[in-house]
Amino acid sequence: MASFAEPILSTSRCIFTRKPLNLPAFSEYSSLRLGGDTKPLLRSRVGQISVKRRFLTAVTRAESDQLGDDDSNSKGVDRIHDLQKLEDNKQKKSSQLKKRVIFGIGIGLLVGCVVLAGGWVFTVALAASVFIGSREYFELVRSRGIAKGMTPPPRYVSRVCSVICALMPILTLYFGNIDISVTSAAFVVAIALLVQTGSPRFAQLSSTMFGLFYCGYLPCFWVKLRCGLAAPALNTGIGRTWPILLGGQAHWTVGLVATLISFSGVIATDTFAFLGGKAFGRTPLTSISPKKTWEGTFTGFVGCIGMTVLLSKSLCWPQSLFSSIVFGFLNFFGSVFGDLIESMIKRDAGVKDSGSLIPGHGGILDRVDSYIFTGALAYSFIKTSLRLYGV
């Protein structure tokens, strides 16, 4: 009897891996009898085999039931985990959107005050943004994604270029024109790259020169637009009631009105494109930025034109409706083009954001990419196409 029970118990131990099984007492099987036989089933060899089969069958059924319960429990746990992850992602996106809105409103109010102040306040704030943006640009150039196929410029060259870019807006305000300064700076940087130790590469020169143009020269047009176009906006009604303490009517120049309209047009483009893409976006715009769609871009275009025309009527500049529409189109085109250029740089760098300075927005370049080309287009249009600066 002991020799028969021990193998069965050892077998049951091997099978029980998760939960103890509730099996009938083994004594119940020992009392089974075949037909009218009055002798116990265990006394014959055939009876021993039959009892063993029945016992193992019961063990197998119990184990399969237990495994089935465990599988269903495991699927339930996995389902709960998936729901929790989905809920966490929703909360994370909601938190990011909340941060984006709060910091966006705060930045918008601060930028509005800086634009209204003009002069050195506007120029120094722009120079600080240019310095941070140029540092982010050269970090993107040095990233693994871009540096894999090229040789980035030395760190000391990129730092010098960042300082030069930051000085460009200040020189623009002081001298009014920085063509000679930019050319001289490009010469100095090119010489520094050529005489460096090691083997100079063309990729170093091209990325550095584009950095001077992209991060330094183009933002200077905002200084030319805001501070250089000092002709009074005579027909602007708000100027008549503007406090003398804040400059009076003379404070409202063509440059101030044009800058406010351009900034508002860029903001309208980004906002309406985001909302339109979320609501109607189906057709991808370009592989450079997969999230942008033609539907969202068209919505941004309509929003920019509408905002430009509305403000031009309110501020009485420019005078003609056609000029307002053209001005709005240039603001829209500069916004989208600048956004795509920065997206291309980030895609090659293999990063989502240019930095992490602004919570919910990324780096400075992520916020000002739409403005980099817009200032040059707006200034060129007003300077060359609008008679008497649109007054």
- What is the average pLDDT across 204-228? 93
How high is the mean pLDDT of the chain? 81
Residue 45 vs residue 147, higher pLDDT: 147
Please give the average per-residue pLDDT across 222-227, as a whole number. Answer: 95
Half-sphere exposure in the Cβ direction for 187 (13 Å, CA): 6
Query: For 25-37, what is each residue's pLDDT tens digit?
Result: 544 444 444 444 4
d(C-alpha 186, C-alpha 180), whole Å: 10
The values of phi and psi at residue 106, to 5°, are -60, -45
What span, in angstroms and rounded, lies between the C-alpha atoms of 384 and 379?
8
pLDDT at 5 over 50: no
CA–CA distance, 334 with 340 (Å, rounded to integer): 10
93 pLDDT band, cuts 50/70/90, is low
150 vs 141: CA distance, rounded Å: 9
Residues 315-324 have pLDDT tens digits of: 989 989 999 9
Q: Which residues, 6 or more positions from 68, have their beta carbon under 8 angstroms from its beta carbon?
A: none
- What value does the mean pLDDT take over residues 362-381? 93
Distance CA 338, CA 356 (A): 20
Q: Is the pLDDT of residue 123 over 90?
A: yes
Is residue 333's pLDDT more than 90? yes
Across 292-302, average pLDDT: 95
Q: What is the pLDDT of residue 349?
A: 85
Q: Which pLDDT score, from 0 to 100, does residue 7 have? A: 42
- Residue spans per domain, the chain: 2-68, 118-228, 231-391
Of 237, 170, 235, 240, nearest to 389 by C-alpha is: 235
What is the per-residue pLDDT for 88?
A: 67
pLDDT-derived band at 364, boundaries 50, 70, 90: very high
Max avg pLDDT among 50-54, 106-110, 131-135, 194-198: 131-135
Token output for 52:
């063993």
Q: Are 281 and 295 in contact (CB under 8 A)?
A: yes
Region 277-286: what's the mean pLDDT?
90
The structure tokens listed for 257 are 């009105």
pLDDT digits (tens, 9 = 90+) for 11-23: 444 444 444 545 5
Task: State the average pLDDT over residues 273-295.
Answer: 91
Q: Is the pLDDT of residue 48 over 80?
A: no
pLDDT of the residue at 52 = 54
**Contact (Cβ atoms closer than 8 angstroms) between residue 266 and residue 370:** yes
Residue 36 pLDDT: 44
* Cα separation, 171 vs 100, whole angstroms: 34
Tell me which residue of 15, 21, 18, 48 sits closest to 34, measured CA to CA: 48
Is the Cβ–Cβ distance between 220 and 176 less than 8 Å? Answer: no
pLDDT tens digit string along 150-186? 778 888 889 999 999 999 999 999 888 888 888 888 8
Listed range (62-71, 81-90, 139-148) with the worst mean pLDDT? 62-71
The candidate with the shortest Cα–Cα distance to 194, out of 234, 154, 142, is 154
Q: What is the mean pLDDT of residues 354-364?
A: 79
Q: Is the pLDDT of residue 381 over 60?
A: yes
In this predicted model, what pLDDT tens digit does every residue of 230-262 receive, in sequence order?
888 878 888 888 888 888 888 999 999 999 999
Does the pLDDT value for residue 103 go beyond 60? Answer: yes
3-class SS string, the chain? CHHHHHHHHHHHHHHCCCCCCCCCCHHHHHCCCCCCCCCCHHHCHHHHHHHHHHHHHHHHHHHHHHHHHHHHHHHHHHHHHHHHHHHHHHHHHHHHHHHHHHHHHHHHHHHHHHHHHCHHHHHHHHHHHHHHHHHHHHHHHCCHHHHCCCCCCCHHHHHHHHHHHHHHHHHHHHHCCCHHHHHHHHHHHHHHHHCCCCCCCHHHHHHHHHHHHHHHHCCHHHHHHHHHCCCECCCCHHHHCCCHHHCHHHHCEHHHHHHHHHHHHHHHHHHHHHHHHHHHCCCEEECCEEEEEHHHHHHHHHHHHHHHHHHHHHHCCCCCHHHHHHHHHHHHHHHHHHHHHHHHHHHHHCCCCCCCCECCCECHHHHHCCCCCHHHHHHHHHHHHCHHHHC
What are the distances in angstroms from CA 347 to CA 210, 215, 366?
17, 18, 13
